[in-house]
Amino acid sequence: MSLPDPRQLERDCLTAWEHAFEPNPSAREKFYLTVAYPYPSGAMHVGHGRTYIVPDVIARFWRMRGREVLYPMAFHVTGAPVIGISKRIARGDEKAIRLYRDLYKVPQKTLEQFVDPLAIVRHFSEEYQRVMRACGLSIDWRRRFTTVDPQYSKFIEWQWKHLREGGHVTKGAHPVRYCPQCENPVGDHDLLEGDRAEIQKFVLIMFRWKDAFIPAATLRPETIYGVTNLWVNPRASYVRAIVDGAPWIVSREAAEKLSLQDHTVSIEGEIPGSALVNEKVSHRLCGEVPVLPASFVDPGMATGMVMSVPGHAPFDYIALRDLQSQGHYSHIQPVSLIRVPGYGDFPAKDAIERAGVKDQTDPRMEAITQEVYSAEFSQGKLREEFGGMTVREARESVGALLVARDGSKYMYEFDTRPVICRCGGQVFVKILHDQWFLTYSDPSWKAEVSAQIEKMVLVPPEVRAEFERTVGWLKDWACTRRVGLGTRLPWDPGWLIEPLSDSTIYMAYYTVAHHLKEFLPEELTPDVFDYIFCGQPCPDHPRKDMLAQMRKEFCYWYPYDYRFSAKDLISNHLTFQLFHHVAIFPPSCLPRGMVVFGMGLLNGAKMSSSKGNVFLLEDAVMEFGADTVRMFLVGSAEPWQDFDWRNELVQSTRKQIERFYNTIQESRTAPSEVAPIDRWLISRLQQHIQKTTQALEVFQTRQALQEAFYAIDADLKWHRRRIVPGTPGGGGVRELAHVWTRLMAPVIPFICERLWKEIGGEGLVSFADWPVPDQGKIDLNLELAEEMLLRLTEDLESIRKVIQITPRSLTICIAPAWKREIFAAVAGAADKTRVVKDIMGEERFRKKGKDAADAVRQCITHVHRLPPGLVEGYLAGNCDEREIFFSAIGFLEKEAGVPVTITDADAISHPRAKGALPLKPALILE
């Protein structure tokens, strides 16, 4: 028997389910789960499939447990990517076209429409919905929306009004990576090189030179007091430029950079670096110092001029020493400025001498600089004459002082270079103005989020640390963009709200999304949302009843119970949405839990559309069937683990479903007699029900499947083996079939829907009652008895494997009573090291002599190797070996293939009989 035609089966189910999963508030308890909605810019692959199928299994499970389950879906179309895609397609970019035409299988006609970015998201959101349906996802599609729907925009405007009123939005300047050629900020993925470069904030210290300023760039403004000279690269080219009205001397590169960072710059003339050597410059805080030449000065770094603090900066120290060793500048002495434990007056000197550095070209200089820098920053203190502050404090305050009193400016620069844009041009730091920020750095906002995280269920628990760390680490988030799709900032419509910032509380929107569609956007004023989501007084509105209805529905569903998402979103989306929730909703509506997913691999390699290493979900469903895809995806790894899609494993999953189908089908014609082995099957089943339930309650889909499928399957195998032809029994599978179909329904709903009908189940299995273990059907003694028989057959097998004779008979020798006493003594002994002495101390055992001593020793290892339950059951007198073996003698003879005799070990004189132990009879094959 093979599976019914999958196309027909899937069609039937999809018809039956069409409107089945459209929950409304009811008297039942609710269960609301949401998944991060997709950005439909490409086709779904099996990795996406798991992201939505795992929650569906959970949804179906809770639905069967009687909850009103809400599993909604929408599409996130905000942002710039589709704009880039459509541009690339419009301009005939071969790579983009190949991706869409060949990999995503977009028909040529549709592809032509992709010059409109909205056409892309329209096409793929249709495709997503179609494929999600085909996968059997129990989604309430009435609530579907996209993030550019006008009603949704109204909702976002309302959200942002609140954020702003709550003081969570500020405006400011913001340094970004910027490509002057593209005239655009560049993100990580736009970089050819330098993606690890970070933006550092330098302080420019304005030294006076003749009528001009020489701005020396430093990350350590507090060391101004220890400056002995400046460094200039004599081979670099410098310019005199009017910066914000004052003449500055900086490297040529620096002049260009400054113009991107809020300065007006006009270059007046060139000055070779060498012309600055030996010039005198001065500053209020360090007096007059000379400019000296140094090759390590990089004209491409900041201003191309640096100040020299030889006492504390290894580069400065060694450069000075190099000059002095040639007999120059011997009057310059380092200034001791900072005390650090483990170093003398001049940490830079100590570090260099310890390392035995020869000159400034030594490759270890970077590391030594880092060492001194960290030591001074973390443990250093300024000397008393400079105020005695810690370096950490001084850096802040001296920097601020220099800016306030001495005309210092800030300048941004990358810590590593070069940074190259995809267009090939060099990337600079530019200061963007009028940028809006979400103030995630706000300590009181952070505190609220941390408090919320503490109350939440996080799955798996290991991610808690990462959430906590993310909250601590988040800085202000630039939340507006100039280009892309999305909602305009209500009070500053030149800006669009950026995608990670307009997708934080839409879980609330779902609760009433289907009703909101009935409203004109302009009807959805902020006070309407205030009423629905925050319980503010109901505004005067022509459709007050409807508003009241929505308020009721929101209150029923919210807060959501679980949010599901892949682990890469912890450090942004998942944490952001908590920030927004605590900012907007009352405590009763704050999220309860999150489940974080692992990533997907395809044949061991990372799945990646750009590398073409993807398997499309729709192809998978067509090839293997939706049930198979589902069962594989939830069964191959737990949700938070990475999973690996391998066709051969998927193929075998399909066979397992077939076996399941056949077993259930065959159960319909099973005999109706019920033998002890049937009671055993049903007894075991109760535990599988319990374990499956427990696993699903904590999202362990793989574990659940191990119990619900493989463990039951293994029991059935034993059950089949135990049935001796010609004897009554076998009816257990009938009862099992009813339970099994329901246990499997969340995972493979299509086939279970069909089977449920065929075995006479009421209604849809999707809404059938989840099985509940019946304690009355559990018979532990029966289970112990079967365990003993199983052990006996295993022993028998291993003996047969090593002997070479063909046996004619099997004798089973049961251990005598005195061995049972020893066994009990060993099992009950608290101190395992003394048990031999204790037992042999007893007269009745001692007179058995060596036999007893051997038995004790054997029992010690034996007891340890037995499952505790079996030992306990045996000691409680719940299994009589003789009775068990006698009643199964037909089975034992079938297994052994020879006549079986059961006897007491001390009733026969065969030497092997002596080896009999409790729960391990001696077997004699001869």
Partner RNA sequence: GCGAGUGUGACUGAGAGGCCAAAAGUGACCGACUCAAGAUCGGUUCUCGCAGGAGUUCGCAGGUUCGAAUCCUGCCACUCGCACCA
Binders of RNA among residues 451 to 510 (CB under 7 A) are 462-463, 465-466, 469, 473-479, 481, 484, 498-500
According to the binding rule CB under 7 A, does residue 572 interact with RNA?
yes
d(CA 505, CA 156): 9
Beta bridge partners of 241: 248, 267
Site for RNA in 736-795 (CB under 7 A): 792, 795
Tell me whether residue 651 or residue 694 sits nearer to RNA (CB atom). Answer: 651
> The dihedral of CA 118, 121, 124, 125: what is its sign?
negative
Determine, following the binding rule CB under 7 A, whether residue 797 of this chain makes contact with RNA. yes
Q: State the amino acid at position 367 in one-letter form.
A: A
User: Which tokens sit at 823?
Assistant: 């066994």
Tokens of 473: 């680490």
Residue closer to RNA, measured from CB, 642 or 880: 642
Which 193-252 positions form the footprint of RNA (CB under 7 A)? 196, 198
Query: Does 713 participate in binding RNA (rule CB under 7 A)?
Result: yes
User: The tokens 């007491």 sit on which residue?
Assistant: 904
| Residue 177 near RNA by CB under 7 A | yes
For residues 99 and 609, is the Cβ–Cβ distance under 8 A?
A: yes
The one among 7, 29, 611, 710 contacting RNA by CB under 7 A: 710
Q: Where does residue 384 rank: exposed (0-12), middle (13-18), buried (19+ CB within 10 A)?
A: exposed
Name the residue among 702, 681, 684, 704 with its Cα closest to residue 693: 704
Between residues 266 and 798, which has the closer beta carbon with respect to RNA? Answer: 798
Task: Establish if 78 lies at the interface with RNA (CB under 7 A).
Answer: yes
Start-to-end CA span in the chain (Å): 43
Helices 732-744, 712-722: crossing angle, 10 deg rounding: 170
Tally: H helices and E strands in the chain? 35, 31
Query: Of 356, 493, 537, 604, which one interacts with RNA (CB under 7 A)?
Result: 604
Angle between helices 617-624 and 46-64 (to 10 degrees): 70
Is 21 or 597 the residue whose CB approaches RNA more closely? 597
Interaction with RNA in 683-702: which residues (CB under 7 A)? 702
Return the range that interacts with RNA (CB under 7 A); candidates 85-93, 269-277, 331-339, 561-569: 561-569
In whole angstroms, the minimum distance from the beta carbon of 367 to RNA comes to: 10
Q: Specify whether the backbone of 3 is left (phi greater than 0), alpha (psi in -120 to 50) or beta.
A: beta
* Contact positions with RNA (CB under 7 A) in 433-452: 440
- In the window 650-669, what residues touch RNA (CB under 7 A)? 651-652, 655-656, 658-659
Q: At what angle do helices 647-667 and 712-722 cross, to 10 degrees?
A: 50
The tokens for 693 are: 């339930």
DSSP annotation of 416 reads S
Identity of the residue, 674 or 925, whose beta carbon is nearer to RNA in the bound complex: 925
Check binding of 525 to RNA (CB under 7 A): no
Count other Cβ atoms within 10 Å, centred on residue 366. Answer: 11
By CB atoms closer than 10 A (0-12, 13-18, 19+), residue 404 is exposed
Q: Which stretch binds RNA (CB under 7 A): 423-431, 504-512, 516-524, 598-606?
A: 598-606
Name which of 586 and 867 has its Cβ closer to RNA.
867
- In the window 383-402, what residues touch RNA (CB under 7 A)? none
Least distance to RNA from the beta carbon of 665, Å?
Answer: 13
Piece of 409-417, 639-647, 725-733, 776-784 that binds RNA (CB under 7 A): 639-647
User: What is the bridge-based pairing of β-strands 593-597 and 562-566?
Assistant: parallel
| The length of the chain, given as a count of residues | 926
Judged by beta carbon, residue 764 or residue 799, the one nearer RNA is 799
Q: How far is the CB of 603 from RNA (least distance, A)?
A: 9
Q: Which stretch binds RNA (CB under 7 A): 171-179, 395-403, 776-784, 892-900?
A: 171-179
CA–CA dist 906, 503 (Å, integer): 78
Contact pick of 92, 95, 183, 188 for RNA (by CB under 7 A): 188
Site for RNA in 19-48 (CB under 7 A): 39, 41
Give 81 or 215: the residue with its C-beta nearer to RNA: 81
Q: Binding residues for RNA, how many (CB under 7 A)?
A: 100
* Residue 254 binds RNA (CB under 7 A): no
Q: Tell which one of 72, 79, 194, 746 touches RNA (CB under 7 A).
A: 79
Candidates 96-104, 187-195, 515-523, 677-685: pick the segment binding RNA (CB under 7 A): 187-195
Q: Of the two residues 227 and 583, which places its CB atom closer to RNA in the complex?
A: 583
Alpha-carbon gap, residue 358 to 356, rounded angstroms = 6
- Scan residues 863-882 and list those touching RNA (CB under 7 A): 864-868
Please choose, out of 10-18, 86-94, 243-251, 564-572, the segment that lies near RNA by the rule CB under 7 A: 564-572
- In eight-state DSSP terms, residue 706 is I
Q: Residue from 98, 606, 846, 857 that binds RNA (CB under 7 A)?
A: 606
DSSP three-state, residue 38: coil
User: What does R_g of the chain's alpha carbons equal in angstroms?
Assistant: 38
Q: Kindly identify the residues of this chain, within the stretch 318-347, that bind RNA according to CB under 7 A.
A: none
Shortest Cβ distance from residue 190 to RNA (Å)?
7
Cβ proximity of 411 and 221 under 8 Å: no
> Segment 800-839, which members bind RNA (CB under 7 A)?
801-805, 807, 832-833
If the CB atoms of residues 573 and 580 are measured against RNA, the closer one turns out to be 573
Residue 567 binds RNA (CB under 7 A): yes
Strand ranges (E), 145-227: 169-179, 184-185, 191-193, 199-209, 212-218
Q: In angstroms, give the least distance from the CB of 902 to RNA.
A: 13
Contact 560, 33 (CB under 8 A): yes
Q: Identify the residue among 33, 80, 232, 281 touching RNA (CB under 7 A).
A: 80
Q: Give yes or no for a contact between 517 and 155, defined as CB atoms under 8 angstroms apart.
A: no
Distance between CA atoms of 509 and 74, rounded to whole angstroms?
A: 10
Q: Rounded to the nearest 5°, which phi and psi values hold at 911?
A: -60, -35
In angstroms, give the least distance from the CB of 255 to RNA: 25
Q: Can residue 81 be called a binding residue for RNA (CB under 7 A)?
A: yes
Site membership for RNA, residue 378 (CB under 7 A)? no
Alpha-carbon distance values, 104 to 45, 123, 286, 633, 879 (Å): 9, 11, 66, 21, 63
Q: Which CB, 200 or 549, lies closer to RNA?
A: 200
Does position 844 interact with RNA (CB under 7 A)? The reply is: no
Rounded-to-integer distance, Cα 752 and Cα 784, Å = 32
